[in-house]
Structure 1
Amino acid sequence: MRLAVFGATGPTGVEVVQQALAQGHDVTALVRDPDKMVGLVPNKELKIEKINFSSADTVEPHLQDKDVVLSCLGSKTWPWSVTLYTDSMEVIVTAMRKNNVKRLVCVTSWFTEDDPSNPPSFMMRWIVKPLFLGRIMYNMAQMEQYLQGCEDINFTAVRPPGLRMGPVTDMEFRTEEGPQVCDRDDVRGMCRADVARFMLSTMTSEDWVRKCVAVIAVPKK
């Protein structure tokens, strides 16, 4: 498949690019700094294109003839409001429409929505979200809501828990259409390599089309 990857120089994006290449996909990394991408993934099969994110018109040429768009764009924690997720997704979706590209896979997070029947932990509700990640998660939620209103885009928003570095594993995925996965055997985080593995697995699956899916990787029993 012909893939376009946004956020390819980030830690999750690098994993997506490397695993997609290993699976034999035709991968184009759309980045602001091509030299950085070359240093992260020195693979001659990887196509690297410098992108100007100022408008859909500047992004549109990079999505020609693509089958799937993957977004691993992420924001740092800021003391002011975050709009990266919605701003970038509006540009991406508009460019996809101009090229008649329908399939999109992106990353958000656990707990972007509130569900009284499936609440977050005390730590997440009263410390992590208010003090550290609240603005980011709020904008992620806005992006998910925007995608849910895009009836012509077959999106999957992948919601992992706290992310860590580490090699890809063969652990099994547990999923839930909701803010978190309750059945997780006390596993609390997920390595970015397994997030990438799950993202790529959704590209040809009908299970999570036009849905937000919480996921975690747990040891096989």
Structure 2
Amino acid sequence: MTLSRLLTLCLFTLLPLTSLADDTTLSTLQQRWAEINYQVPARQRAEAFEKLAAQASTAVQAEPGSAELRIWHGIILSTWAGAKGGLGALGLVKDARRELERALEINPGALDGSAYTSLGSLYYQVPGWPVGFGDDEKAEQMLQQALMLNPDGIDPNYFYGDFLQRQHRYREAAGALEKALAAPERAGRTVADQGRREEARTLLASVQEKLD
């Protein structure tokens, strides 16, 4: 067997293992994020997210070309910022934005466009200039792009519904939230789905009160 043939065989043997390791790490980050976000007491979340962010950073350093890992690093950073609160969290959301933008550069369709969903949610929740980079117009553009890639997904519909209700567009918000509640279950994401559905039900009830 020639050396080039041997190297080719080795390469194709290693590629599935790398992909499998990447998928396992991603699943671990997703599951731990859901546990912290929905099951850990609020006062303990910031510290837990800090530790998870360090794990995600290590994973990205090991696989810098993985858009999926960068998306989840960005999600964890932004959720950590929300748990931490205050102006001290602004640096974290800026780091999250950079990570999500890098994920879009690598693969805008990764995880059904989740980078668009997460960026959109940052743009409408972060304060605008001169404090932060918040921008409602950009937020809607990002969220609509996410829905083009994943029209029936629970997350893009939930965050678009939240954005719309903050804009006092209650009828549109109700439609988006109802669609979020009707979204199909995601394999391996039971805790996250249950938590997001509860958030969607609570927000929909508030929106419907405003419509009555």
On whether the aligned pair clears a TM of 0.5, the verdict is no
The structure richer in strand per residue is 1
Q: TM-score band (shorter)?
A: 0.3 to 0.5
- TM-score where L is the length of structure 1: 0.34
Q: Which has the larger radius of gyration?
A: 2
The structure richer in helix per residue is 2
Higher relative contact order (CA 8 A, sep 6+): 1
- TM-score where L is the length of structure 2: 0.35
